[in-house]
Chain A
């Protein structure tokens, strides 16, 4: 167990700054191994330099987010996911 590993729910804050949908319950499919699951059930590495959501099955980087330190600009890389399935919560 890596001491700096968090679960995907730790990314709720930064993802909520970008997406209007609740992202921790969004389902992903990993480009590398095909595993599917909710973002909140994946692994997360969160630091000042950026946030990385990694596949709980194969460790592939699913979602990467970097934020300029003044908060004025974000970069989002979704190359690690085949798709995101988003649910509207009414």
Chain B
């Protein structure tokens, strides 16, 4: 009994000290995975699902679900931070690196817009989705990504606030000019770095 008590206390302290280093300012830890929705959950059949790379590219590229799933996937474990102040540590995803999708693409674009079923968009600098910083995730904790968390596939950009990790993503549009997305055009920060607490315009 004494051992059990000691054990619980030890784990509690360990976790708290790990969290201290990994929780950005103003955030708190959650164990669950809250769902925030700005619209209905799309249910696009996989047979109709495609992923498209277009905009400032010589030739747009489109993958069917089968073609997308045949691309090499990576497993990544990352902490995620929502602008509504919850953070979740050590989430494990599998997805296709955006580097893989952009392989061989010649572009002068400096920005990218993720576009989604339901009309949601989010904007990012191209350099924030390349060099191993972003994925199109199809698997969460070993299971196909559930629709309420963005399945069949969502953008995963864990170093920025999680609204940038657009659910139900259907493509990336490369652009020369920056174009604020759904929340970025309504008061939320254009870049959204949780470590600099960039929640709103002017932060």
Chain B associates with chain A: yes
A interface list, Cβ under 8 A from B: 2-5, 43, 45, 47-50, 52, 54, 59, 61, 64, 66, 68-69, 73-75, 77
Structural contact, A69 and B85, CB atoms closer than 8 A:
yes
Cross-interface CB contact of B38 among A3, A52, A73, A75, cutoff 8 Å? A52
What is the minimal beta-carbon distance from B197 to any residue of chain A, in angstroms? Answer: 11
Structural contact, B163 and A66, CB atoms closer than 8 A:
no
* A/B interface sample: 8 pairs, CB < 8 A: A3-B148, A45-B38, A48-B36, A52-B38, A66-B183, A66-B186, A73-B200, A75-B187
Is B37's CB within 8 Å of the partner chain A? yes
Considering only CB atoms and an 8 Å cut-off, how many residues of chain B contact the other chain? 22
Structural contact, A64 and B186, CB atoms closer than 8 A:
yes
Chain A hits for B148, CB < 8 A:
3
Q: How far is the CA of A69 from the CA of B35 in the complex (A)?
A: 18
Structural contact, B186 and A77, CB atoms closer than 8 A:
yes
Classify the secondary structure of A's interface with B: strand
Chain B hits for A54, CB < 8 A:
39-40
Given contacts A61-B119, A75-B186, A75-B187, contact A68 B37 (CB under 8 A): no
What is the minimal beta-carbon distance from B148 to any residue of chain A, in angstroms? Answer: 8
Residue of A nearest to B187 (CB): A75
**B36, B83, B187, B199 — most chain A CB neighbours (10 Å):** B187
Is B92's CB within 8 Å of the partner chain A? no
1/0 per position for B4-18, CB-CB distance to A under 8 A?
000000000000000
Q: A52-B39, A68-B200, A77-B185 are in contact. List 14 more A-B contacts (CB 8 A).
A: A4-B40, A5-B40, A45-B38, A47-B38, A49-B36, A49-B38, A49-B82, A49-B84, A66-B183, A68-B199, A69-B85, A73-B187, A73-B200, A75-B186
Structural contact, A2 and B40, CB atoms closer than 8 A:
yes
Q: How far is the CA of A59 from the CA of B38 in the complex (A)?
A: 11
Is B41's CB within 8 Å of the partner chain A? yes
Cross-interface CB contact of A50 among B38, B82, B118, B199, cutoff 8 Å? B38
